Structure 1
Amino acid sequence: MTASAEVGRATGRPRRGGVVTWACAPGFPPAVIFPFTPAERMGTRNIYEFQMLMYRPLYYFGSRGTPDVDYEQSIGEPPRWSADGRTVTVRIRPWKWSNGETLCADNVLFWVNLMKVKGSRYGEYVPGYFPDNCTSYGKLADDTVYFTFDKPYSKKWVLMNQLSTITPLPKAWDRTAEGPANASGDPADVEAVYAYLIAEQGDMVEEGNEHRTRWAGSPIWSVVSGPWRLKSYTLEGMVTFVPNEHYSGPDKPYLDEFRQVPTQSDEQQYEMLRAGPRGEGSIQVGYLPLSFAAESTTDPTRGGANPLGDDYDLVPQAAFCIRYFCLNYNNPTVAGKIFKQTYFRQALQRTLDQDTAVTDIYQGYAYRQNGPVPMVPPTDLVSPRQREGAWPLPFDVEKARELLEANGWDTSRTPAVCVNPGTGPGQAGEGIPAGTELSLEMRYVEGRPALTRLMRRYKEHAAAAGIELRMEEVYGSILVAEDGPCEPGPDTPCTWELTCWNGGWAYHYPTGEILFRTKAGGNFGFYSDPTTDELIEKSVTTDDLEALYEYQDYIAEQVPVIFTPNFPIRLFEASRDLGGFGPVNPFGMINPEKWYYRDRD
């Protein structure tokens, strides 16, 4: 069964009512309800499985199973462009907020002004791009906004990567503790309004943040535009949604409730599913942990035999994403200096055996990721070099060792030792003194056996090249909070070195500004390279794919992050009692408003 196929074996008419319980992946309870989310919390669990159910973005993507904008599901009508290609106009559909307000231009400008003033606290903000690259923007009518850019850009890029960052916010949020404000019309009000909303949000890092238990009854967070509103959230991570009766878009929910329950490990998830989808405490939707796949598959988008097939359909969600782990270029110790050496990153990439992991660890539900553009599903966005398999850094421990030897390291022992410091040819690089040992801490998310196996093999192969990786498993939500973007200071030592949360980035359009441009929100490790910035700029100002190819081939060789095997964002297990489950969204979102039980014939 393909990921786009309709699933659910029950017959009969769709009926309204019932409860669906989803068993979530371990380690990442939602930490942020305010959709102006910082980079360290821009995860699948937080955004796609939580916020987007309640707060719809200006443009919605992929809900019909295709990697495109779904205008029917979108608040914004198709954008209209001026003849000179610099001004785009967007009309807002008159959807209703749950408090009766009509969605309007002010709701859009509220968000844009937040980005203008507080962009550094938003995970998809890129300095110099939206809204910094607008010479003007504003309201043409109560339902129409415009943006005039400093020069012509790729229209597809503007739609997919710039306007897509906007989530309209209600007037009910445009306030401070003292009363209503005007952040939608006056950027001077933004700081005070933002401070008020963050206070209502509560601490984004503290796992025991009791604000979470009050979100459902909040006069702020209970005002929603999406198909769902929050009924309750417990400190244990149990989330319950009920339908938003005022939802204006298509696909109004059939269900009475949609519940999300936390799990602690892949093993617990599997046992919960084995108990079946009926009865007290049952699970109707979950995921098949990769380590429990019954047999190998040759097509990760279709899947193979399902060990839970008596009760569930296996539906891979092959999202348009890449997976990688991050290096902290801002680490103030010698580790940060080592990461800035291209030869070292190339050696580190060469010690990761992706191809064997695909077959032996991931049972064929994965595929090698060569660079910064997703290889699956196949598109013409992948450069010809990489499409044809010309990966510049395939697994080769001996060549990794040679790279280190050629740049001043003695690899006759592990960890290797710097024996030729300096910045000249054959030397280790700036800031790396003689006697430095090549020993680094690698932290990764706990509770995922397949990832643990990958990391253990990686440690062995890296050691064979002279690189000691000191491995540590960490609870996922703590990992992303502690190992997030940072700059060294009195309150932020910024000493994490290597981190892997078993994820990466889901794209709309795979230009690199969010991930690799200097000081971009999604640039978690603070990588900075002038050539990369220039190539990214070329790729966003033209629809010519050659610019995108040049950028991605350069990144594949520079490896600012270490690319890991890619696999479907979820191997859904969906109860056969459910209808409406497919097609699945290729950008990673979920749409439980489409799910339903059937009346039996």
Structure 2
Amino acid sequence: MTAAHVQTGLNNRFTRLRRCLLAALLALPFPAIAAAPQTCGTVIVPPGVGLGTPPASVTSLNPLLIGSTYDGEAVSLLYEGLLFVNSKHEIDYSRSIASGIDVSADDTIFTVTMKPWAWSDGKPVTASDVKYTYDLIKKLGPTYPDYGAGGIPGTVKSFTLLSPNQFQIVTTHPVNPIWFELVGLAQLTPYPQHVWGKYSINQMWRRQSDPAFFKVVDGPFRLVSFELGRHIIFGPNPTYQGHQPRIRRFIMTFLHSAGSEIEGMRTGSIDMSNLPFSLWKAGHELKNVRIVRTAPNFGFDYMQLNYKNPKVSFFRDVKVRQAIADSIDEKAKIKLLFHNTTRVQHGPVPVDPPTFLSPTAKAGQYPVGFDPAKARKLLDQAGWKMGPDGIREKDGRRLSFTYLASSGGTTSLLRSEMTQQTLRAIGIEMKIRQVTFNQLLALSNRPLAWEAMGFGWSLGSYPSDGAQLRTGGSYNQAGYSDKKMDRLLDAVTTTPGMGALYKYQDYAAEQQPEIFEEEPGVVVLANPHLRGVRKFLSGGAWAANYLYFDKQSCTAQLADATTP
């Protein structure tokens, strides 16, 4: 049998599988009210589309307990946010449950008015549901992944219900309204108190992947089925008051390798996927596939340095940190590994979009940048002299550390190796050790078990990195502590306007408390007949209700699904 025969057989098999799947989906019961008219087709995607991350599984649907961004993608289809923050990092009230926020002159009183909205069982969404969410966050404490972010609940003095559609939050001190709204209030998505209120926290933990728990929703989709390790199937929520879905089913299918994404797009068994940089050529050679470039995620990658481990106490010297940053050729990595899909990152504020960049950053006047000669001079000034093997020494110690990298990604390993080479060129030894991502997380909480490690950091819609860089911050496992940094971060959250944010980011870019690195861009492969892809990817969460198939494909899918 020739390779062509094998390939044809595979194509036929995937076509049959998709036909059977579509037929089965169309046969599923659709309780209560029928789907909105003029819906057609099924969109099948792996989790992570638009993030540029490897595909994985969804394990939890409880938005207060979610453990991964993949879980968050699924949850965003079921529950409508109090505030919708668009890609420009502005509140879009046309897509929010809140209709407006009134802020007192002293920046301590926030009065939120909500538009009429309903749960899928017909009950109204009220301010009491928002307070229920706030109270749950307080009960969960640090168990809640974003506990403390945006001052929730620590800076809240009181939460008062004024009417069924209005509530008021008073803060303990004046706060920066931009920060408090985009990071704090944006967390307070209303959840159905009349349903969830019957359960204890422990019961909610046990049922976070139980489809029956999530029957009452107010987002564009409802849950049809959830099979752990396999897929989640969503159908339109006919009571949704926003933009109604125009597809009959939206499926998250759980793939676990970049190769399976490419194969799925080649055979047509999925409708969208990320294009892995390691398979760049293979992705561009696919037939009948549309390639969509999107902006990088709002965040950055970084090398975290361990300030608690005495073996690498040299990280406490700002000259050593600046030398490391000055030695890394980000532009070369962006060109060779990321196909010019992103830009150089110098500090804790993402460069794309440039909404929050300081004037200094916008002008490209960074205190640290690729300059190997300057890096060598800094190390000389810090007392590190070149040793006989090309690695610098000081007081009998070698300037050497081990870097823990997440395993499983070819591009990620190449990126680490490029950094390894540029560091060696200035006399620093970086040994690379690959571990699974779960091991990386576990080791990060054991101060003496690591020296440096690589992470990615996704920000909300206001880039205050207090959780990482503040003394005792919830994600400051590295033990970084700087009194000036703490003062600047305090000012970011309490001073109106952007001035304090500018001062903080310029200081962080100079200090390099962690080595800031570029956030890779995202390239998405899409079914050429699928429309609304950019709208789907345009916000901080999936907008699958804007996806639809063109007329030609819609007709073909319906015929294919009903053909024996």
TM range (shorter): 0.7 to 0.9
The within-5 A match list for 1:336-415 is: 337-379=313-355, 381-412=356-387
Q: Does 1:255 align with 2:272?
A: no
**Are the aligned partners of 2:150 and 2:185 in contact in 1 as well (CA < 8 Å)?**
no
Q: Does 1:228 align with 2:221?
A: yes
Please give the per-residue CA displacement for 1:579-600, whole angstroms capped at 9, x wherever unaligned: 2223354444221111112323
1:261 Cα shift?
2.6
1:67 Cα shift?
3.5
Amino acid at match of 2:358: S
Corresponding residue SS for 1:272: helix
Q: How has the CA–CA distance of structure 1 residues 67 and 233 changed in structure 2, closer, same or farther, with 3 Å as cutoff?
A: same
The within-5 A match list for 1:202-281 is: 212=209, 215-217=210-212, 219=213, 221-236=214-229, 238-245=230-237, 247-275=239-267, 277=268
Q: Distance in 2 between matches of 1:172 and 1:339?
A: 52
| Number of the residue aligned with 1:322 | 299
Q: Percent identity among equivalent residues?
A: 26
Q: Distance in 2 between matches of 1:559 and 1:365?
A: 24
Amino acid at match of 1:498: A
Q: Does 1:46 align with 2:88?
A: no
| Number of the residue aligned with 1:199 | 206
Q: How has the CA–CA distance of structure 1 residues 585 and 259 changed in structure 2, closer, same or farther, with 3 Å as cutoff?
A: closer
Corresponding residue SS for 1:274: helix
**Are the aligned partners of 2:401 and 2:431 in contact in 1 as well (CA < 8 Å)?**
yes
2:442 to 469, 472, 482: 482
Amino acid at match of 2:222: R
TM-score with structure 2 setting the length: 0.81
**Are the aligned partners of 1:54 and 1:229 in contact in 2 as well (CA < 8 Å)?**
yes
1:335 Cα shift?
4.6
Q: How has the CA–CA distance of structure 1 residues 254 and 584 changed in structure 2, closer, same or farther, with 3 Å as cutoff?
A: closer
Q: How has the CA–CA distance of structure 1 residues 242 and 587 changed in structure 2, closer, same or farther, with 3 Å as cutoff?
A: closer
Amino acid at match of 1:359: K
Corresponding residue SS for 2:182: helix
Q: Does 1:549 align with 2:556?
A: no
Amino acid at match of 1:230: L
Q: Distance in 2 between matches of 1:526 and 1:35?
A: 29
**Are the aligned partners of 1:16 and 1:597 in contact in 2 as well (CA < 8 Å)?**
no
Q: How has the CA–CA distance of structure 1 residues 70 and 265 changed in structure 2, closer, same or farther, with 3 Å as cutoff?
A: same
Corresponding residue SS for 1:77: strand
Please give the per-residue CA displacement for 1:114-155, whole angstroms capped at 9, x wherever unaligned: 333434223333389232222222212233211012333232
Please give the per-residue CA displacement for 1:487-540, whole angstroms capped at 9, x wherever unaligned: x5xxxx772443324x32233122333443334445454533221121122223
| Number of the residue aligned with 2:284 | 307
Q: How has the CA–CA distance of structure 1 residues 114 and 517 changed in structure 2, closer, same or farther, with 3 Å as cutoff?
A: farther
Q: Distance in 2 between matches of 1:110 and 1:438?
A: 53
| Number of the residue aligned with 1:26 | 54
Q: Distance in 2 between matches of 1:391 and 1:559?
A: 11
Q: Distance in 2 between matches of 1:249 and 1:494?
A: 53
Q: Distance in 2 between matches of 1:470 and 1:232?
A: 46
**Are the aligned partners of 1:127 and 1:519 in contact in 2 as well (CA < 8 Å)?**
no
| Number of the residue aligned with 2:453 | 499
1:246 Cα shift?
5.0
**Are the aligned partners of 2:45 and 2:253 in contact in 1 as well (CA < 8 Å)?**
yes
| Number of the residue aligned with 2:123 | 101
| Number of the residue aligned with 1:17 | 40
Q: Distance in 2 between matches of 1:230 and 1:356?
A: 45
2:519 to 566, 577, 597: 566
| Number of the residue aligned with 2:85 | 61
Q: How has the CA–CA distance of structure 1 residues 586 and 414 changed in structure 2, closer, same or farther, with 3 Å as cutoff?
A: farther
Number of residue-to-residue matches in the alignment: 512
Please give the per-residue CA displacement for 1:227-274, whole angstroms capped at 9, x wherever unaligned: 2233344443x3323225354331222222222233333333223323
Q: How has the CA–CA distance of structure 1 residues 127 and 365 changed in structure 2, closer, same or farther, with 3 Å as cutoff?
A: closer
Q: Distance in 1 between matches of 2:194 and 2:312?
A: 44
Corresponding residue SS for 1:79: strand
1:467 to 425, 428, 432: 428
- Structure (1/2) with the larger helix percentage: 2
Amino acid at match of 2:528: R
Amino acid at match of 1:23: P
Q: Distance in 2 between matches of 1:586 and 1:157?
A: 21
1:419 to 394, 397, 402: 394
Q: Does 1:590 align with 2:551?
A: no
| Number of the residue aligned with 1:287 | 274
Q: How has the CA–CA distance of structure 1 residues 19 and 591 changed in structure 2, closer, same or farther, with 3 Å as cutoff?
A: same
Corresponding residue SS for 2:161: strand
**Are the aligned partners of 1:111 and 1:169 in contact in 2 as well (CA < 8 Å)?**
yes
Q: Which runs of 4+ in 1 moved over 6 A?
A: none
Q: How has the CA–CA distance of structure 1 residues 407 and 356 changed in structure 2, closer, same or farther, with 3 Å as cutoff?
A: same
Please give the per-residue CA displacement for 1:412-438, whole angstroms capped at 9, x wherever unaligned: 156957633xxxxxxxxxxxxxx4444
Corresponding residue SS for 1:54: coil
Amino acid at match of 1:388: A
Q: Distance in 2 between matches of 1:439 and 1:46?
A: 38
Q: Distance in 1 between matches of 2:479 and 2:195?
A: 32
Q: Distance in 2 between matches of 1:127 and 1:287?
A: 29
Q: Does 1:578 align with 2:530?
A: yes
Corresponding residue SS for 1:61: coil
TM-score with structure 1 setting the length: 0.77
1:459 Cα shift?
1.4
The worse-fitting range, judged by mean Cα deviation, of 241-250 and 571-580 is 241-250
Please give the per-residue CA displacement for 1:7-47, whole angstroms capped at 9, x wherever unaligned: xxxxxxx9412211113442643344322247xx3x43232
Amino acid at match of 2:405: Y
Q: How has the CA–CA distance of structure 1 residues 15 and 246 changed in structure 2, closer, same or farther, with 3 Å as cutoff?
A: closer
| Number of the residue aligned with 2:411 | 450
| Number of the residue aligned with 1:538 | 491
Amino acid at match of 1:74: S
**Where does structure 2 lack aligned partners over 5 or more consecutive residues?**
1-36, 48-52, 556-564
Taking CA–CA contacts closer than 8 Å with sequence separation of 6 or more, which of the two structures ends up with the larger relative contact order? 1
The worse-fitting range, judged by mean Cα deviation, of 547-556 and 309-318 is 309-318
Amino acid at match of 1:85: D
Q: Does 1:138 align with 2:160?
A: yes
Q: How has the CA–CA distance of structure 1 residues 67 and 362 changed in structure 2, closer, same or farther, with 3 Å as cutoff?
A: same
**Where does structure 1 lack aligned partners over 5 or more consecutive residues?**
1-13, 182-192, 202-211, 296-305, 421-434
Q: Distance in 2 between matches of 1:103 and 1:408?
A: 64
Q: Does 1:161 align with 2:161?
A: no
**Are the aligned partners of 2:78 and 2:221 in contact in 1 as well (CA < 8 Å)?**
yes
Please give the per-residue CA displacement for 1:370-421, whole angstroms capped at 9, x wherever unaligned: 2122222233x3122222222222123444344344334444156957633x
Corresponding residue SS for 1:58: coil
Q: Distance in 1 between matches of 2:226 and 2:399?
A: 45
